[in-house]
Structure 1
Amino acid sequence: MIIKCCNMYNIILLLKIYMPFTNKKKIKWIFFKVFANLNFAICILFFILFFSMLGSVIEQHQSLAYYQELYPVQSTFINFNWKAITFLGLDNIYESWWFLIILMILSCSLITCTFSVQLPSLRYARRWKFINRDIYTQPKVSFTEGTFVNKSMVNIVHCLNNKGYYCFSRQNKVYAYKGLIGRIAPIIVHISLILILIGATIGFTSGFIVQEMIPIGEVFHLKNILGSGFNNVAPIYLTFRIDDFYLNYNVDRSIKQFFSKLSYINDDGNKKVYPAIFVNSPLILKGMTFYQTDWQMNALRIQLDSSCTIQYKLNKVQIGKSIFWICRFPLEKTNHIFIIISSFNDSIYIYDSLGKFISVASLRQKVYVGEACFRVKEIMSSTGIQIKVDPGLSLVYLGFGFLIISTFISYISYSQLWFSISDNYCYLNGYTNRAVLYFEEELINIYHKYIENCM
């Protein structure tokens, strides 16, 4: 009997312990309390910063062979190798599912904090706060004066209104505040961070980057996709054409800027030409942004004896800060020459197989080497175009815009004043959340103005 009673007591004790966790309201309250906690949001933000830093250290979007070579498997106790990188998704951090979950958790934390803490705090700040005389002895009061003057409520309201305060009176008490908009700054910060996180998530999941190196006069499609989200739909059916490419030079013949003209060809074969793009001046077309990124010389078209035209590849060579393109052109079975070019508009230098200078020529000028005659008809080049789609970019810009606005709003001080008349004495005191010295000066000026009006 005693054993049965003990067992029953244990069951009742377990039920008492378990009952709070079965209460759905308490579970929801605990959930909201944790998510609304500032320390929790800072902890999540720390994880995001840590993995962002890790993504800067570990190269992203590389091939498996790259990670196998750079992070080999070793027989050590702590071995951070390519297997761990690929298994944890550290080669693609910003698009991985766990990183997106962390962003979602931070967004939920900010939303919960906004609705459960910030908005109620703003609502509370708008309430009338008439207080008793005991508040004057509390340390948070910035300034207090007691003086026997005429009992004039109109004068103090007039003085406070001139300073931009909103006044409320009841019996022999006045409550006033100003700078309520400064209390909105934390809410705007939360909204801006939420917009940035949502925009970044949309960009991770639905955006893509394409890099193409296209010869002049050729059509191209979006094929060479460097990175893309799992929810993107790349418009590979669209057709574009590079119409022209040219360079601008400085006085010292160094390259100043390079330009590309491209056009869009629709399904009917009609072509629409757009203004030239260059570095830091992209083209926005059909939700895609076209950037000018690079250029290169591909080959030379050489005409032999006014008859056939042959195409030979150019090889890029860099000596110090100077870049040259070299073509090895065979004249006979046992004889060849080197053609060297430094830019589109510069001269063409010709050397023999031993590196001896032969002559210098310009484009389309006939060159005689022994009994052979040829001329360089065309320098074939390609332009590097990067096409980027980021559907969440507008939300990111909007979020940063709100963040800038909140920075300026946060400098607005939220100030409160209390005025009361008791026992033939007038009491004036106040509180502010920032700029305490300026507020004390303002409070003293209000006090003296009130005394002056009452005399």
Structure 2
Amino acid sequence: MKALPRLVALISDLRLAIVLLLVIAIASGVGTAIPQRETAEFYHRLYDPQPWLGLLPGEGVLALQLDHIYSSGWFLGLLAWLALALLLCSWRRQWPALRASLRWIDYRKPRQLSKLSLAESLATDQPAASLEKLGQLLEGKGWQIRRQGDRLAARKGLLGKVGPLLVHAGMVVLMLGAAWGAVAGQRAEQYLAPGRSLELMDSRGSSKLTLALDNFSIQRDPAGRPEQFTSQLRILEGDGSDGSLLKQAQISVNHPLRFQGVTLYQADWALAAISLQLGRSPLLQLPLQSFPQLGEQVWGLVLPTRPDGSEPVLLSLGSEQGPVEVYGADGSPLGQISPGGEALEVKGLPIRVASVLPASGILLKRDPGVPLVYAGFAIALAGGGLSLVATRQLWAIAEEGPGPGQLHVAGLCNRNLTGFAAELPQLLSQL
């Protein structure tokens, strides 16, 4: 039984809470540096040739759960440990301090007041009248007053004692929301071409909403580098067959759309399809695929130039603006084709590129813990603001004497004691 209080004291130690906060901050930084929730092949391809920090290959990143830090068991365990430490600290220290501040302390003798941080004695012919006037002055300044015969007690700023409790409570609620979102949240990235739609399923697999992309544009700088991506979206009810429009909006990078618990982010872009004309054929819209072995953002397709499928060529491009590079089966360059421009004769076959269809990369996130995270922030901020409120206490005793009497006044303050020390003589000068 004796070990339990020591264990509680250890867990609620402020130094331990600071260490936990530091470890959580470092882990969050690692989660920012390492891409999260990718496939195992992605981490092997990224870190096997060059281990992360020169120490961890792909297998090490996966073994330590660094590919999904925020939902890993050890990270959630750290959050739970910190939450428990804050709760125990509030229970052992902050709650007793609040209860103690609500109790009135009664000092009966002037000698008791002289031992406090601030103490003054004022000579007066009418100590009782001065005491009464002091009470009226304090009440006019918003102090709570308690009179008992020849003495009074006053206090102001008790809300400041609630601040630390609210800060701890807000942090616990915030961590609860973050953990709930990491465990129960959903995240998926989809590429949509204009005119296409995507059904949004709930946890039971039934279609609740349909996301349709009407238009997607890429804004580029003069050098051709992408600067901004913009998608025109429609959200339809159910599978969209009845055409019931619920929301129409535009999203771009740093300007997401939030709707019924789902957040849609403009995350990336790709090339979906290319419209070709082979000789005198009608326009053919053919899908493009990514070629990571040729570069980070390179798309293309293999196109046969003969009816029997022989003599293929590779069409590749890195932008919807082109140009389209044409390579032979041996990798030799055969020319370039500009979208919307003239045809290029390749092995006797004229090939014209009419247009290239880009695709919008949309990140869909459903995080049930977001309301708790926002509520936790609000509670913690409110508590931080209240913690700045100084709690002041003041006592006064009227002492009658054979000659001039005295009014003994003393006070305590948990913040800005210097300011309170300068205010007390000004208060007594009004008596």
Find 2:261's aligned residue among 287, 292, 309. Answer: 287
The question of 1:429 aligning with 2:414 is answered: no
Give unpaired runs (5+ residues) of structure 2. none
Q: Matched residues in 1 for 2:56 and 2:380: separation?
A: 38
Contact 2:219/2:227, CA 8 A, preserved across alignment? yes
How do 1:146-161 residues align onto structure 2 when only pairs under 5 Å count? 146-151=122-127, 152=129, 153-161=131-139
CA displacement at 1:375 relative to structure 2: 4.9
**Alignment partner of 2:395 out of 395, 406, 418:** 418
Offset at residue 215 of structure 1 (A): 2.5
Residue 53 of structure 1: how far off its partner (Å): 4.5
2:161 corresponds to which residue?
A: 183
Question: After the TM superposition, which residues 186-225 of structure 1 pair with which residues of structure 2 at under 5 Å, given as runs?
Answer: 186-221=164-199
How far apart, in 1, do the equivalents of 2:62 and 2:298 lie?
40
Task: Supply the distance in 2 between the matched residues of 1:47 and 1:249 (Cα, whole angstroms).
Answer: 40
From 422, 426, 430, the counterpart of 1:445: 426
Query: Equivalent residue of 2:181, what SS?
Result: helix
Does the Cα contact within 8 Å between 1:328 and 1:336 map onto a contact in 2?
yes
Give the corresponding residue for 2:365.
Answer: 388
2:243 aligned residue: 271
Please give the secondary structure, in 1, of the residue aligned with 2:254: coil
Other-structure match for 1:125: 101
Match of 2:215 among 241, 245, 254: 245
Alignment size in residue pairs:
405
**Structure 1 counterpart of 2:272:** 298
Cα distance between partner residues in 1 of 2:258 and 2:173:
23
Amino acid paired to 1:118: Q
Which of 361, 378, 382 is the aligned partner of 1:405? Answer: 382
Shift of the alpha carbon at 1:30?
4.8
- Preserved contact between residue 215 and residue 242 of structure 1 (Cα < 8 Å): no
Match of 1:308 among 264, 275, 282: 282
Indicate which of 158, 162, 169 corresponds to 2:147: 169
What's the offset of the Cα at 1:388?
Answer: 0.6
SS at match of 2:429: helix
**C-alpha separation in 2, matches of 1:67 and 1:343:** 30
Distance in 1, matches of 2:393 and 2:79, equals: 38
Distance 1:64 1:355, change over 3 A: closer
CA distance in structure 1 between the aligned counterparts of 2:71 and 2:336, rounded to whole angstroms: 57
Residue 204 of structure 1 deviates from its aligned partner by 1.5
CA-CA distance at 1:113 after TM superposition: 2.7
1:297 is paired with a residue whose SS is: strand
Separation in structure 1 between the aligned mates of residue 239 and residue 354 of structure 2, nearest angstrom: 34
Q: Do 1:295 and 1:383's aligned partners in 2 also have CA atoms closer than 8 Å?
A: yes
The letter of the residue matching 2:72 is S
User: Which one-letter code corresponds to 1:106 in the other structure?
Assistant: L
Matches within 5 A, 1:77-88: 86-88=62-64
So what's the TM-score if we normalise by structure 2?
A: 0.76
Counterpart AA for 2:24: I
Return the offset for 1:101: 2.7
Gap regions ≥5 residues in structure 1:
1-20, 224-231, 318-322, 451-455
Instruction: Report the CA distance between 1:295 and its aligned residue.
Output: 1.7
Does the 8 A contact of 2:300 with 2:314 survive in 1? no
Identity, in percent, stands at 23
Relative distance call for 1:42 and 1:134 in structure 2 (3 A) is farther
* Equivalent residue letter for 1:145: S
> What is the aligned partner in structure 1 of residue 86 from structure 2?
110
Aligned to 2:231: 259
> Where does residue 24 of structure 2 map in the other structure?
48
Larger fraction in helix: 1
Question: Larger Rg: 1 or 2?
Answer: 1
Determine if contact 1:263/1:271 at 8 Å carries over to the other structure: no
